[in-house]
Structure 1
Amino acid sequence: MVHGLLWLPLLIFFFWITWAGWNEYQKVETYKQWANQFERSKYDILAALGQSERNLTWGLPTRQGIINTQTIDFNQVRSISLIAKGDATFAEAAQDLAKKSEAFLQLQLTDDEQPQIPFTDVDIAQKWCSFLTKTLAEGGDQLS
């Protein structure tokens, strides 16, 4: 009986880790279907991001699909900045993203809104920031 009680937490952990893996797998599969409509896309546990021509769309990945999506046209964007953990402005600018994200892209729109796109990997965030800044500067003539 003692051995059974000792193994019970391990069994519970095994079932939990199996469920968590299945849950994440389902999120990735729904992301793949969603990403087909974009020229360039990225999946992150915090956000899915897609770029198609002059539009940028992002939202929260779930098993049922990408929810809380937002779409903007590059004509609405004044500037794009990368704010990474460790920067002086990260804690105050991150709002509710500070606990989970390592970096985020902050878009300055023409209507003075500042939407944020979270990233768990700073290197990927830097690449997206460079790409989007270049696309914004070129006026979308040469999207790659």
Structure 2
Amino acid sequence: MTHGLLWFPLLIAFVLLTGLGWIEKRRQALYRSWAKGAELAKLDSSGAARLKEGILCWSNFEAGKFNDKDSFEIKQLELVELMALSSGEAPLTNESQGQCRLRLIGSGKETDVPFADAERAREWMSQLMEKARCDL
């Protein structure tokens, strides 16, 4: 009896990990259909973003679907800044890593797109500015 009780926590852990894996697989499948046809797309722990037909929109995954947070028209883009995620208005240095946000500025509007990785955000920064120049 005690031998069986020792295996019970492992069984619970297995069931839990299997369930979490199924949720992640479902999230990635929904992301692929959400981002289909996008020129630029990302999925990370801070959410999803896509550039499609000149509109950058980002969302987060809640209750089995992607809920759109906000959008920004790329042809109105004037400036992109890399900012720290939680420290107010502090810009990120080139050596910084980790969570951050891209601040999109254009036509009197400022919006922030969260990123889980600063390196990926830097890549997006340059690609968005290239797209904005091409759309002009």
TM-score w.r.t. the length of structure 1 is 0.75
Alignment partner of 2:113: what SS? Answer: strand
Which residue of structure 1 aligns with residue 93 of structure 2? none
SS in 1 for 2:87: helix
1:98 — aligned with what? none
Q: Which has the higher strand share?
A: 2
| Distance across 2 between alignment mates of 1:128 and 1:122 | 10
CA root-mean-square deviation: 2.4
Structure 2 equivalent of residue 122 of structure 1: 118
**How far did residue 83 of structure 1 move?**
2.3
The aligned amino acid for 1:91 is: S
Please list, as runs of the form range in 1=range in 2, the aligned pairs for 1:1-144 lying within 5 A after superposition: 1-62=1-62, 64-84=64-84, 90-93=86-89, 102-112=99-109, 114-136=110-132, 138-140=133-135
Alignment check: 8 A CA contact 1:78 1:108 kept:
yes
**TM-aligned CA deviation for residue 72 of structure 1:** 1.6
> Are the equivalent residues in 2 in contact too, given 1:47–1:117 (CA < 8 A)?
no
CA contact (8 A) 2:75 2:135 kept: no
Cα offset, 1:56, TM superposition: 0.7
Structure 1 unaligned runs (5+)? 95-100
When normalised by structure 2's length, the TM-score is 0.79
Which segment drifts farther, 7-16 or 23-32? 7-16
Deviations 1:54-104 (A, max 9, x none): 21111113463321342221244332111257xxxx52249xxxxxx6122
Contact 1:27 1:62 in 2 (8 A): no
Return the alpha-carbon distance in structure 1 between the equivalents of residues 66 and 106 of structure 2: 23
The DSSP-based 3-state class of the residue aligned with 1:116 is: strand
- Opposite residue 48 of structure 1, the aligned amino acid is A
Q: 1:39 to 1:63 in 2, by over 3 A?
A: farther
Report the count of equivalent residues. Answer: 129
